[in-house]
Amino acid sequence: MNKILLVEDDTSLGYLLQEYLTLKGFDITLAKTTADALKNLKQYSYDLIVLDVMLPDGSGFDLAQKIKLQHSTIPFLFLTSRSLKIDVLKGFSLGAVDYLKKPLDEEELVVRLNTLLARIKQPSKGIAIDQELRLGGYTLNTLNSELVFEGHTTRLTTREFELLLFLVTHKGQLCSHKEILTSIWGKNDYFNRKSLNVYISRLRKYLNNDPTLKIENLHTRGFMLSESEQSPT
């Protein structure tokens, strides 16, 4: 059972999320202040931390900085009504694995949490994920969700990163629509397939600086990321 520390000062929302996520199989500890959160972190271990930004005794951003210093191995994400671009960028710059904006559907939250936890725990399943993965002329930074090519950095969204990482770790293999959608979206249906095609198009644009890389669509069965040894002449 995955242990999650939920830091949320809104009592009604906090208890609602705690009850719902518990029913979905998570072990949830609810903390309403930064002080409570830090106290729990000293006493227990967690797989993931969910942070609000606005807390009664400090900022969730400040708490995130303390978590990075004192508990650097525990990933965290923000779930907050603070949706300005500057706040989102600040959250990611602090090392957040995701930044979710309220109000968020509870079912969607469960899918996002399961996806993140599966990605975080991949190494324990025998798939070693390095901090930096080489992909042709690109470098994929798995900690910051950044794709770098000749000094130019593209920050990937959570879904873009998850999809690209899935393709990279299965490079040269056919990845069926079902495998991708079940692993990343949590559900294999028509609408998610349409969304998958949109994200594949985005990734193709990001990778078009290196002609040795190609995301192939294999006869409607799925996609395969391939890398040729030499650039076409």
Residues 124-179: pLDDT tens digits?
344 445 578 889 999 998 878 889 999 999 988 888 888 999 899 888 889 999 88
Which of 35-39, 58-62, 95-99 shows the lowest per-residue confidence on average (mean pLDDT)?
95-99
54 bridge partner residues: 59
- Entry field: residues in the chain: 233
- The pLDDT of residue 94: 85
Mean pLDDT across the chain: 86
Flag the least confident range among 8-17, 122-131, 189-198, 221-230: 122-131
User: Six-digit token pair at 156?
Assistant: 């990937």
d(CA 15, CA 147): 38
pTM: 0.55
Return the CATH architecture of domain 3-120.
Answer: 3-Layer(aba) Sandwich (3.40)
**How many Å apart are CA 143 and CA 8, to the nearest integer?**
25
Q: What is the pLDDT of residues 193-216, one digit of tens each?
A: 888 999 999 999 999 999 999 999
Report yes or no: 78 and 103 within 8 Å, Cβ to Cβ: no
Angstrom CA distances, 199 to 21, 23, 35, 181, stand at 28, 32, 40, 12
Among the ranges given (41-45, 92-96, 212-216, 220-224), the one the predictor scored with the smallest mean pLDDT: 92-96
What is the residue extent of each domain of the chain?
3-120, 132-227
User: What sections of 27-157 are H helices per DSSP?
Assistant: 34-43, 60-70, 85-93, 106-120
* CATH number belonging to domain 132-227: 1.10.10.10
Per-residue pLDDT, 106: 85
Beta pairing class for 76-80 and 99-101: parallel
Q: 169 or 26: which carries more pLDDT confidence?
A: 26
